[in-house]
């Protein structure tokens, strides 16, 4: 599967002067929420994790782990905890990515020393950032193997229940899930247009007025994309609805207190 800048931006005039096979693969990315019957083989899983481990990591801390869930019953329970999203149970493989400061804590306990810096927000951020970098490497690797993926942020809706289901040790938390499998060719989906580069790319300094001037045309493009699949609304409406307040966060507004209970305080 290869992608084009036209599809990525919803703009027939979009071009790239520098391309490669990897970039074409990235341009073709879309979330896959319907999967075919074939399994993800052990060799493929091993390759995905090797790709993930090849991502950058702050100070080589490597503060993440991943739980590969194949058991149908467990996938069904995780789906129920993550907003009842059916594709989690349908996908042959569900990877739960863990921001893992427990490994360093256990290392300190064995060494008889302290790791007080792990109590600070910076270290928790490193855990989440490094986990995301690793998982995105796995997503690109999966695409190169002909596999589809979709991230699942709703795994944070019930973090303590997810931790119990996966038997997570202290000082760890599930950052997000990733459903993996062969895409169902009958799924009605396509490459979703992104913001124009002029809305996100600044040169030398941030120019909010110039960048935001490109939002109306993007609203039109995304509204047209949505209409193709029987959906309504544009990007601006979606952003405002998603960030309206705690009621739009599916329980995740309580995440700071939950992380503290799981041993990830954020001073």
What are the residue boundaries of the structural domains of the chain, listed by start? 1-29, 31-183+225-261
Q: Is the dihedral of CA 55, 121, 257, 105 positive or negative?
A: positive
Q: How many C-beta atoms surround the C-beta of residue 193 within 10 A? A: 19
Exposure b/e, 40-50, CB count within 10 A at least 16 = b? beeebbebbbe
Q: How many C-beta atoms surround the C-beta of residue 75 within 10 A? A: 21
31-183+225-261 to CATH, choices 3.40.109.10, 3.40.80.10, 3.40.50.1000, 3.90.245.10: 3.40.109.10
Q: Per residue of the chain (267 residues), what is the pLDDT tens digit?
A: 568 999 999 999 999 999 999 999 999 999 999 999 999 999 999 999 999 999 999 999 999 999 999 999 999 999 999 999 999 999 999 999 999 999 999 999 999 999 999 999 999 999 999 999 999 999 999 999 999 999 999 999 999 999 999 999 999 999 999 999 999 999 999 999 999 999 999 999 999 999 999 999 999 999 999 999 999 999 999 999 999 999 999 999 999 999 999 999 999
Asked if 181 and 93 count as a contact pair (C-beta separation under 8 A), the reply is yes
CB half-sphere exposure, 226, CA atoms < 13 A: 14
């Amino acid at each position: 599967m290869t992608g084009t800048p036209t599809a990525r931006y919803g703009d027939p005039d979009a071009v790239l002067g520098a391309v490669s096979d990897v970039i074409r693969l990235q341009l073709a990315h879309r979330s896959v929420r319907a999967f075919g019957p074939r399994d993800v083989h052990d060799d493929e899983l091993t390759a995905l994790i090797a790709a993930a481990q090849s991502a950058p990591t702050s100070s080589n801390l490597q503060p993440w782990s991943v739980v590969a869930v194949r058991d149908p019953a467990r996938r069904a329970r995780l789906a129920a905890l993550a907003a009842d999203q059916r594709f989690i149970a349908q996908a042959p493989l569900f990877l739960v990515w863990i921001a893992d400061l427990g490994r360093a804590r256990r290392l300190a306990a064995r060494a008889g020393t302290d790791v007080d810096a792990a109590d600070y927000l910076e270290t928790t951020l490193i855990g989440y950032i490094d986990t995301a970098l690793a998982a995105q490497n796995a997503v690109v690797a999966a695409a190169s193997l002909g596999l589809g993926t979709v991230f699942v942020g709703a795994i944070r809706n019930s973090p303590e229940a997810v931790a119990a289901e996966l038997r997570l040790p202290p000082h760890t938390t599930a950052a997000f899930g990733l459903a993996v499998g062969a895409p169902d060719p009958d799924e009605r989906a396509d490459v979703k247009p992104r913001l124009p580069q002029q809305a996100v790319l600044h040169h030398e300094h941030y120019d909010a007025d110039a960048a935001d001037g490109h939002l109306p045309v993007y609203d039109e493009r995304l509204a047209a994309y949505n209409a193709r699949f029987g959906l309504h609304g544009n990007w601006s409406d979606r952003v405002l609805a998603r960030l309206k307040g705690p009621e739009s966060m599916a329980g995740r507004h309580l995440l700071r207190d939950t992380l503290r209970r799981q041993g990830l305080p954020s001073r």
